[in-house]
Structure 1
Amino acid sequence: MPTGGRALVDALRGLGVETAFGLPGVHNLDAWRAFPGSGIRLVGVRHEQTAAYAADGYARATGRLGVALTTTGPGAANAVAATGEAWACHSPVLVIATDIPSTDRRAGGYRGVLHETTDQAGFFRPVTKAVVRVDRAEQIHAEVIRAGRLAMAAPRRPVYVEIPTDLLGADVPESTAEPEQPTGRDGDISLDEAVAALAAARRPLVWAGGGATAAGAGELVARVAERLGAPVLTSYGGRGLLAPDSPCLVPLPPHAPEAGALWDDADVVLVVGSDLDAMNTQGFRQPRPPRLIAIDLAEPVTYPPDVWVQADAAVALRGVLATLPEEPRPAWWARPDGRSAYAGPEVDFLEAFESALPPDAVVVADMCIPGYWYAAFGKVAAARGLAYPVGWGTLGFGFPASLGAALSGRPTVALVGDGGFLYACGDLATAAQERLPVTVVLVDDGGYGMLRYDFTRRDEEPLGCDLGSPDFVALARSFGVPARRVTVDELGAAVADGLASGGPSLLVLEAAYTPPLTTSPRWYRARG
């Protein structure tokens, strides 16, 4: 008779999972025993936070469900920060943790059982779409499938599943019945008011975000913009929806004054799948347009729309295209020159870095100055081509998330700083052991460059910003990962070599850069 651990793995197979990340512990070994022969690649990492970040990176690069497995108590707690990042960025991640044996649990009391907490699930409630606790072994299969489908249902976000450890080893009946598939929103959507406003607009603008990415709606966004003669601004979640040379794409972030002016001049803004959050709107300082239309499954709250079309972005945009006149309007706007106006060592770095990136590459950028520059001004050539922790802003995201993205089948580069890389540098062992095809570009400025900038711009002496770091090349090589130092002139060829190797590699560039306009000390919009 199969065990609860086998029921868990069978449920993951039923969800179409091919890759999972985790760390074994005494409480979850019955789950680990069930993976061999399942067809699911289980990647063992060196820290539970890495498991959740890698699951997030995999989900962002593929659009599929990311899975992280942890053990009880501190193992689960280690995954919370990474789960919060997935939550803030609408990433579909299933976090599966064990709890102490059900026979040891006493409601409302702490008994000192190994790894016990009084409410482990409480760690995850603020950072998940739902918390699912399994009480009986025969529930495992159905509840895991339900949780995975819930994570993937729009709007996508993480779901936490908790299973007492003794249930994983218990005998359960063979799982045959499939839980009911949750259905989407029923009924026809009404587009009349939205289309009428767009048709009457003289200066329409389209803002596209992560919801458009999740819906695979990049081509539809471009076609609607062409019909309207409208510019397209993209949030961080929308990078790569339109090709860098698309005539509709504004080749600058909305934080650049030239791009912000287009928002200010628009008489109607069509927002497709975006929260219009603080990081993209300079702390909500963008003025509300005269008329705002939102296409999103969740009701927008930061900029309440005049018209809300509650629908999947692709479905709604197809309806808009079917109703708008087929003759494209002339553009009312002039395309900005792009990042050439910001030429300097930072743009030189971007040019060198991008020179080796294939069109389908995924760049996983950390919260570091080079990552800020690429996320804002990089030429992201394909949807899901940028993974960036703008939601929670979790430093240390870049390298561990890239381990998951590397298993997407797309060329993967992690862009990190020296400070953030040290959060998870132990998982160089994972990259080497699993032969993960990721090239890490580490820009070493000797510390926390963004914090150093915050001090110096106020003519203050930096405190706590300068770091004693290891020899990163020697560190990587000690794990069996090829590594070398490069100059900017050598960077492109070195990245190309790393990607061609089919395994992990680390490139160290010693350089210090100034933050771009997308960082809050440099936002141009003043508080009203």
Structure 2
Amino acid sequence: MAGRTGAQHLGDALKALGTEVVFGLPGVHNLPLWEALAETGIRIIGVRHEQTAGYAADGYARATGKLGVALVTTGPGAANTLGAVGEAMASAAPVLVIATDIPFTLKRPGVVRGVLHETSDQQAMFAPVTKAGFTVHRADQIGTTVHRAARLALMPQTGPVYLGIPTDYLRETTEASGPPKPLAERVLDLPDLARAADLLSQARRPLIWAGGGALRSEAGEAIGKLAERLAAPVITTFAARGLLPLDHPCLAPNPVHAPEVGELWDEADVVLAIGTDFDGLMTQNWLMPAPPKLIAVNVDAFDAAKNYKPDITLVGDARRVVESLRPASRAGLDELTVRLGSIGRRVRQRIRTEEPQAADFLSTLEEVLPEPAMLVTDMCVAGYWIGGFHRVRAPRKLAYPMGWGTLGYGFPASLGAAATGSGRVVCVTGDGGFLYAVGDLATLAEEQLPVTVVVVDDGGYGMLRYDQDQEGLPHRGVDWDSPDFVGLARSFGVHADRVSGFGRAFRRLLSEFIESDEPNVLVVRAKLKPPVNTSPRWPRKPR
């Protein structure tokens, strides 16, 4: 394909990569991209803030495992995505941020001349929150560089990649260049497989700890079979919720922060850690003791060993490695299943006793959510309850921003998840987080995305209010008079209603809203106490 503009080459490359939708905000520098993408048939969802473009691309990526694409303009437009890109990096979401840069012809090395939107080094802004960055230096490099950047974003461990394009290259006409040659598939060569299998065979109380890498590699079935073979409980991290079916006989109730579940870790003599780095949020800042023996499966040996030192490290794709493990079978599966059922009942009873509103909330979600629905939560108390205790039915049915912990993630990420066309998305957000992207109610209305937004309005930052109460401090900066969220949503043309608490009225309205074909907003006036998986309530304390 000859005689195409740089913008058209970018559109051609995204189309060749199978891109179906991009999220973006137009700016004076990137307008040619909007024209070029319209020619390709790729769906362009315009948003009201660049951070929303980043979060929506993240939500799309988590829902599908495919590349999420955010299209933004130069300087401040690019900079506005950084919080969202940081969350994608911490949660290993494959996102490609395509940002224009000032015209190459106006650049002068080492000098910031004052060109509109100019920065000294735009790519460098993204370095701490991306896997890598690319800046195109000739118009004929655009197509090839798009392929390279996308391939890197999707390569395990997945994550965000930045691509910068000087705006004058978008209109320049050049010859087409083909995609780079694909990388040769890595041959699995793990001499320690036999040692790992022997160690698991000798274990008296083995345990499997599965993280986001296990989910992203689609290792659930292999892990489930291995767990049954070993009669080993499987603890899943926040990023791995839904890895195993809810009725799997080895699935431990979540989260590990609950003392009843934490006992499984404490008594294990061999832990098989799959696709995890044992971050501080899951380990209560590493107050969980290191296991007597640890086998780590990870695509990155350094990542596998940075927090707990493995005795054996198996570097490779989680599914392929687990399928290659052949430990001896152990008895005790029936006893394990009975025990895990007992633990689950004790955890649910603890919630019912300590926070009955949370128990009502969780039971309603379990009852009314249809099978294909996806839950997207924000950094809010209700979201923490979901991240810790909601029973996720399948992989990629929960997006929870506990990688970087970015407030304001939930609503814009739900737009991206809904753009996949795979069914209703339910977003649970607090009043504070919702206000970060409330302008994108316009996007929700224009695109008629199948999203139900549940805004839990506790009149402020409920988690921070709890922190101040715990320290005996007065409330400062955490309380406010909430706006009329119902009226606000309706002003954008989005159906909305309100309810108090999580009782029968909430259950009825949420069920009606989820069954609707239209986007809607349900405002719930309620205050929840934080769950045990939030740091002020962690049961493990420094000695």
> Residues of 1 paired with 2:171 and 2:333: CA distance?
66
Distance 2:170 2:368 in 1: 46
Looking at structure 2, the residues matched to 233 and 131 of structure 1 have their Cα atoms a distance apart, in angstroms, of 35
The residue number in structure 1 matching 2:181 is: 180
> Which residue of the partner structure matches residue 541 of structure 2?
526
Corresponding residue for 1:50?
Answer: 52
Which digits, 9 at most, give the CA deviation of each residue in 1:75-128, with x for residues without a partner?
000001100000000110000000000000111101110000001111100000
Contact 1:354 1:492 in 2 (8 A): no
Q: Which runs of 5+ in 2 are unaligned?
A: none
Distance 1:181 1:339 in 2: 49
Indicate yes or no: 2:512 matched with 1:510: no
In 2, Cα distance between equivalents of 1:342 and 1:470? 31
Confirm or deny: 8 A CA contact 1:69 1:96 kept in the other structure.
yes
Instruction: Tell me the amino acid that sits aligned with residue 254 of structure 2.
Output: L
| Higher deviation after alignment, 482-491 or 191-200 | 482-491
Q: Which amino acid aligns with 1:142?
A: T
Contact 1:49–1:79 (CA<8 Å) still a contact in 2?
Answer: yes
The one-letter code matched in structure 2 to 1:435 is Q
Distance 2:125 2:42 in 1: 28
Q: What SS does structure 2 have at the residue aligned with 1:108?
A: coil
The CA deviation string for residues 365-417 of structure 1, in whole angstroms up to 9 with x for no partner, is: 10000000010000111111110110110000000000001122132110000
Q: What are structure 1's unaligned runs of at least 5 residues?
A: none
2 CA distance for matches of 1:57 and 1:138? 31
For the residue of structure 2 that corresponds to 1:35, the secondary structure is helix
Q: Distance in 1 between matches of 2:162 and 2:450?
A: 29
What's the CA shift for 1:59?
0.3
Structure 1 equivalent of residue 157 of structure 2: 155
Q: Which consecutive segments of 4 or more residues in structure 1 shift more than 6 A?
A: none
Aligned partner letter, 1:179: P
Asked if structure 1 preserves the Cα contact closer than 8 Å seen for 2:379 and 2:408, the reply is yes
Partner of 2:447: 434
Structure 2 residue aligned with 1:312: 317
Q: Which residue of 1 aligns with 2:131?
A: 129
Match of 2:349 in 1: 340
Does 1:401 find its partner at 2:413?
Answer: yes
2:476 is the alignment partner of 1:467: no
Cα shift readout 1:166-215 (whole Å, capped 9, x = no counterpart): 0011102134x221113443342231111111001000000111001101
Match of 1:356 among 356, 368, 375: 368
1:226–1:329: 8 Å Cα contact kept in structure 2? no
TM-score normalized by structure 2?
Answer: 0.95
Cα deviation digits, residues 407-445 of structure 1 (max 9, x gap): 221321100000010000000000001111110011000
Deviates more, 1:7-16 or 1:49-58: 7-16
Q: Which amino acid aligns with 2:320?
A: V
> Which whole-Å CA distance do the structure 1 matches of 2:333 and 2:362 have between them?
32
TM-score relative to the length of structure 1: 0.97
How far, CA to CA, are the matches of 2:510 and 2:4 in structure 1? 47
CA contact (8 A) 2:201 2:329 kept: no
Higher helix share: 2
- Structure 2: how far apart are the matches of 1:204 and 1:235? 17
- Tell me the equivalent position of 2:327: 324
Does residue 417 (structure 1) correspond to residue 454 (structure 2)? The answer is: no
Letter in 2 for 1:202: R
* Mapping 1:162-311, distance limit 5 Å: 162-175=164-177, 177-190=178-191, 191-299=193-301, 300=304, 301-311=306-316
User: In structure 1, what residue type is equivalent to 2:289?
Assistant: P
Residues 1:479 and 2:492 aligned together: yes
Q: Distance in 1 between matches of 2:332 and 2:219?
A: 21
Code of the aligned partner of 1:110: V
The answer (yes or no) to whether the contact 1:230–1:332 under 8 Å persists in 2 is no
Kindly indicate whether the alpha-carbon contact (under 8 Å) linking 1:363 and 1:386 is maintained by their aligned counterparts in 2: yes
Between the aligned partners of 2:31 and 2:164, the Cα distance in structure 1 is: 15
Separation in 2 of the partners of 1:187 and 1:351?
A: 44
Percent same amino acid at aligned positions?
A: 53
Kept in 2, the 8 Å contact 1:227–1:329? The answer is no
Where 1:355 maps in the other structure, the secondary structure is helix
Greater shift, 87-96 or 190-199, is seen at 190-199
* 3-state SS of 2:38 partner: coil
